[in-house]
């Protein structure tokens, strides 16, 4: 037994001795025979991590049209070498090749400095690079060690500038946001949403974000940053998709109609020195607050937004302007509920109203004759509203009359700031509510009666945004329900699961007198109808809605509306407004249209509104880019 055990021990010693000889031999080979080779390789080679961008989630309209997706594009990055000599060789040439992308020697050095401590990652310098530029880099590859050209996912705006002010834009992390993004785990050279929906759904909960989870490729490089081999890869995970409330065709028609009317009115008519250059269309679902169209003219290229002048103030639906006669339905509600006018009363319009030394004219200088409040809305008679304002002055005094109008404006929620998911980055005007305090703050005196009269027809110290105006007309349509406007209907995971589903949010219920509201609504309906025998004339928007009526399933859709021509100074072309809703009996949509210096309401805003409303109700097929207005 002991002899057998001793033999086994001897055998084991021999095996161990043999293995030790093999190990010593290998060490001899590595250290002495091939030592210089492996030393050089260890000194020259290192591993680097190359980011593989996750595709951002698609943005889709309510009717299933993908308007924003991702596509592969060339991206140029720089694996920064360790020595100054190597950098000095590459940076000037690289800056020259990438000059068209805003890359300079200074910006490259700044990027290197910002990413100090992350030398294992290449620095991204240019995104969506043209093939011609890629060929230049390839041709000079030996002079550009460390420069990497790869395919990464970038935004693809399938319909150009469509809905650009909703979508927003992407860009590099700004200095004032760097700390916030780095704390959230972002790379310094990450591309992030700067404004609009791209920003609002960027650094949020993962189940809501358009941003996906980046992947990585681990590669081996030499001391000059040249790729030697791939070591491993972690694939990216795409971002969540977003379904909007906007209707594709309605949005496209709204944008094109604005462009068409601006082109039409940029004519040689010397009576109008100022030609239109800005406009807006908003369409709301009056029963939910969902935004069905949001058009701002001019729009911009979301892929080149940095070159857009006045971008931050260019979202016209958020800009405030004088509103003109579109405020008359509100003044009518005030007159009826305050008892300074009655539904059956006949006002007399000789073409002006004079009280003492104060004399102001109607737009119809020859006068409308006798007319009711309802007819005053129809033909937009200024004298009716001068009378209402003067009665308020007599009842409450000059300051009190102004405040009475201001109180009605506040009741209709004009003073309520409504949060918007796509508004980050844009300057947003709060509007000006006509109160005696605001008047004194601006002019340093109490308003005179004539200045109260001005406010009653939407002039003077009263300015509101198209967004505020469409919310106001929506409340007239639905009986005082003020809904939160919203644009995002759903957020879907990459697997198609619903991560978020929007629900209508009621912000306020305004108690409107039903009988007074019925009178106002009838007057607004008459705005789109021709004149009646013995009446004061045709509605201010009657022509198109009479001779080219809105139809649905072979039946005429009745539209209620109010036009406005907002004066902005002597000799200056007025702004053109239209607010309305349809159908008249059972409203579905509310619309506000604004055209800066569009002359009269019927000249610019009415044709745009008519085209948009017809698109909503009629089964049409519109190809983006086709003219909407002749």
Residues 594 and 572: their CA atoms lie apart, in Å, by 16
How much is the CA Rg of the chain, to the nearest whole Å? Answer: 34
Angle 84-97/105-114 helices, nearest 10 degrees?
130
pLDDT of residue 308: 86
Please report where in the chains the tokens 């060490």 appear, as a residue: 27
Q: Quote the DSSP letter at residue 560.
A: E
The residues near 616 (Cβ < 8 Å, ≥ 6 apart) are 247, 250, 283, 292, 582, 589
Residues 189 and 123: their CA atoms lie apart, in Å, by 7
Q: Quote the strand ranges of 334-441, DSSP E.
A: 347-349, 352-355, 358-361, 369-371
Tokens of 526: 């008459």
**From the CB of residue 310, how many other CB atoms can be counted at a distance below 10 Å?**
10
The residues near 423 (Cβ < 8 Å, ≥ 6 apart) are 200, 315, 318
- Do residues 507 and 624 touch, judged by C-beta distance below 8 A? no
Q: Quote the DSSP letter at residue 312.
A: T
Residues 289 and 587: their CA atoms lie apart, in Å, by 13
pLDDT of residue 3: 63
Residues 282 and 539: their CA atoms lie apart, in Å, by 23
- Do residues 618 and 625 touch, judged by C-beta distance below 8 A? no
Phi and psi for 249 in degrees, rounded to 5?
Answer: -65, -40
Tokens of 489: 């209907």
Thinking of the domain 46-244, which architecture would CATH place it in?
Answer: Alpha-Beta Complex (3.90)
Thinking of the domain 248-617, which architecture would CATH place it in?
Answer: 3-Layer(aba) Sandwich (3.40)
**From the CB of residue 144, how many other CB atoms can be counted at a distance below 10 Å?**
24
Closest by CA position to 284, among listed 483, 417, 431, 418: 483
Is the link from the previous residue into 298 a cis peptide, with omega within 30 of 0? yes
Residues 164 and 59: their CA atoms lie apart, in Å, by 12
Residues 615 and 550: their CA atoms lie apart, in Å, by 9
Residues of the chain with CATH 3.90.1310.10: 46-244
Closest by CA position to 45, among listed 304, 305, 224, 218: 224
Phi and psi for 395 in degrees, rounded to 5?
Answer: -80, -40
Q: Which residues of the chain have pLDDT under 70?
A: 1-48, 82, 117-120, 221-230
The residues near 266 (Cβ < 8 Å, ≥ 6 apart) are 275, 276
pLDDT of residue 37: 46
Residues 323 and 469: their CA atoms lie apart, in Å, by 8
The residues near 75 (Cβ < 8 Å, ≥ 6 apart) are 53, 124, 126, 127, 128, 129, 149, 150, 151, 152, 154
Closest by CA position to 296, among listed 610, 626, 608: 608
Please report where in the chains the tokens 């007198």 appear, as a residue: 513
| CA-CA-CA-CA torsion sign (94, 96, 100, 101) | positive
- 496-530: b (≥16 Cβ within 10 Å) or e: eeeebebeeeeeeeeebeeebbebbbbbbbbbbbe
Closest by CA position to 456, among listed 369, 356, 335: 335
Please report where in the chains the tokens 């604005």 appear, as a residue: 258
Angle 328-338/382-411 helices, nearest 10 degrees?
80
Residue 557: half-sphere exposure toward Cβ, Cα within 13 Å: 23
Residues in the chain: 630
pLDDT of residue 152: 86
**From the CB of residue 127, how many other CB atoms can be counted at a distance below 10 Å?**
20
- Do residues 376 and 540 touch, judged by C-beta distance below 8 A? no
Residues 457 and 381: their CA atoms lie apart, in Å, by 9
Alpha helices in 170-277 (DSSP H): 178-183, 196-200, 248-265
Residues 98 and 316: their CA atoms lie apart, in Å, by 35
Residues 566 and 432: their CA atoms lie apart, in Å, by 15
The residues near 619 (Cβ < 8 Å, ≥ 6 apart) are none
- For residue 65, the surrounding DSSP H or E stretch is none
Task: Give residue 466's region: left, alpha or beta (phi > 0; psi -120 to 50).
Answer: alpha
- Do residues 604 and 621 touch, judged by C-beta distance below 8 A? no
Residues 547 and 191: their CA atoms lie apart, in Å, by 52
pLDDT of residue 44: 43
Closest by CA position to 194, among listed 425, 420, 419, 421: 425
pLDDT of residue 309: 83
- Do residues 421 and 339 touch, judged by C-beta distance below 8 A? no
- Do residues 377 and 537 touch, judged by C-beta distance below 8 A? no
pLDDT of residue 290: 98
Residues 264 and 593: their CA atoms lie apart, in Å, by 16
């Amino acid at each position: 037994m002991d002899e057998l055990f001793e033999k086994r021990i001897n055998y084991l010693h021999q095996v161990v001795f043999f293995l030790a000889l093999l190990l010593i031999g290998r060490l001899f080979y590595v250290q002495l025979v091939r030592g210089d080779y492996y030393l050089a390789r260890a000194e020259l080679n290192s591993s680097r991590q190359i980011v593989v961008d996750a595709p951002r989630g698609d943005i889709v309209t309510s009717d299933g049209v993908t308007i924003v997706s991702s596509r592969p594009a060339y991206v140029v990055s720089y694996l920064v070498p360790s020595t100054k000599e190597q950098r000095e060789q590459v940076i000037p040439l690289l800056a020259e090749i990438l000059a068209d992308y805003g890359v300079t020697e200074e910006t490259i050095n700044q990027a290197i400095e910002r990413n100090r401590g992350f030398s294992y990652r290449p620095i991204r310098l240019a995104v969506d690079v043209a093939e011609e530029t890629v060929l230049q880099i390839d041709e000079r590859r030996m002079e550009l060690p460390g420069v990497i050209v790869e395919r990464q996912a970038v935004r693809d705006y399938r319909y150009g500038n469509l809905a650009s002010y909703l979508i927003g834009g992407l860009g590099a992390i700004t200095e004032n946001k760097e700390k916030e993004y780095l704390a959230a785990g972002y790379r310094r050279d990450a591309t992030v949403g700067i404004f609009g929906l791209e920003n609002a759904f960027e650094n949020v909960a993962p189940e809501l974000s358009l941003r996906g989870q980046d992947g990585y490729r681990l590669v081996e490089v030499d001391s000059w940053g040249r790729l030697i081999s791939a070591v491993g890869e972690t694939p990216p995970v795409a971002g969540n998709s977003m379904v909007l409330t906007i209707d594709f065709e309605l949005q496209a028609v709204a944008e094109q109609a604005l462009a068409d009317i601006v082109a039409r009115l940029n004519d040689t008519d010397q009576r109008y020195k100022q030609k239109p250059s800005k406009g807006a269309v908003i369409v709301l679902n009056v029963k939910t607050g969902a935004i069905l169209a949001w058009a701002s003219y001019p729009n911009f290229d979301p892929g080149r937004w940095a070159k857009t002048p006045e971008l931050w103030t260019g979202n016209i639906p958020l800009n405030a302007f004088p509103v003109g006669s579109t405020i008359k339905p509100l003044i009518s509600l005030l007159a009826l509920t305050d008892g300074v006018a009655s539904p059956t009363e006949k006002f007399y319009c000789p073409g002006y109203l004079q009280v003492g030394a104060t004399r102001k004219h109607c737009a119809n200088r020859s006068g409308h004759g006798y007319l009711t409040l309802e007819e005053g809305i129809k033909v937009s008679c200024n004298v009716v509203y001068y009378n209402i304002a003067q009665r308020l002055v007599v009842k409450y005094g000059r300051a009190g009359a102004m405040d009475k109008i201001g109180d009605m404006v506040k009741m209709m929620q004009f003073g309520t700031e409504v949060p918007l998911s796509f508004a980050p980055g844009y300057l947003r005007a709060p509007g000006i509510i006509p109160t005696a305090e605001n008047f004194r703050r601006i002019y340093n005196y109490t308003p005179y009666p004539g200045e109260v009269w001005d406010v009653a027809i939407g002039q003077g110290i009263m300015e509101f945004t198209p967004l505020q105006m469409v919310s106001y007309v929506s409340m007239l349509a639905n009986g005082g329900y003020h809904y939160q406007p919203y644009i995002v209907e759903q957020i879907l995971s990459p697997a198609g699961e619903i991560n978020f589903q929007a629900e209508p949010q009621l912000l306020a219920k305004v108690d409107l007198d039903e009988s007074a509201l019925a009178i106002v609504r009838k007057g607004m309906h008459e705005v789109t109808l021709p004149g009646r025998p013995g009446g004061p004339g045709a509605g201010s928007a009657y022509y198109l809605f009479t001779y080219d009526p809105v139809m649905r399933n072979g039946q005429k859709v009745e539209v209620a509306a109010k036009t406005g021509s907002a004066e902005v100074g002597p000799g200056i072309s007025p702004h053109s407004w239209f607010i309305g809703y349809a159908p008249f009996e059972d409203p579905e949509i509310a619309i506000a249209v604004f055209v800066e210096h569009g002359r009269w309401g019927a000249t610019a805003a009415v044709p745009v509104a008519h085209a948009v409303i017809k698109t909503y109700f009629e089964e049409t097929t519109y190809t983006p880019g086709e003219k909407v207005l002749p």
